[in-house]
Amino acid sequence: MTNSRPKRRRGASDMAYITLTRDTFDREVMTCPGPVLVDFWASWCGPCMALAPTIDEIAEEERGIKVCKVNVDEEPELARRFRVMSIPTLMVFRSGEMVRREAGGKSKGEILEMVGEEVKA
């Protein structure tokens, strides 16, 4: 049996996000009352790699936002479940409900604006 605990990644600059799997998604995202930013990505995706430092920065700086990542190659069931057709795709959840969804590269300001209403609620 595999360990279904979420992995917290910490890089050289102490960035933190949660890597989601099909076993941890509902527990980490759907039961969280606060805003959850989920980044659907893949290692071969240039725009995903360009966006990654921004997502990492938000994970480190914005304590009111839970930041999670889903590698669509490793978790195709989650990509299908949420109908992810292009990457990167960012989704914002609150209390188990998806409240925002955007595809494509975004600036830090655009992402924070996307999550912004949810952080204030």
Active site residues: 45, 48
d(CA 8, CA 54): 17
Nearest to 87 by CA among 48, 43, 37, 35: 48
End-to-end CA distance of the chain: 39
Contact between 94 and 36 (Cβ < 8 Å): yes
- Which string of b and e fits 103-116 if b means at least 16 CB within 10 Å? eeebeeeebbebbe
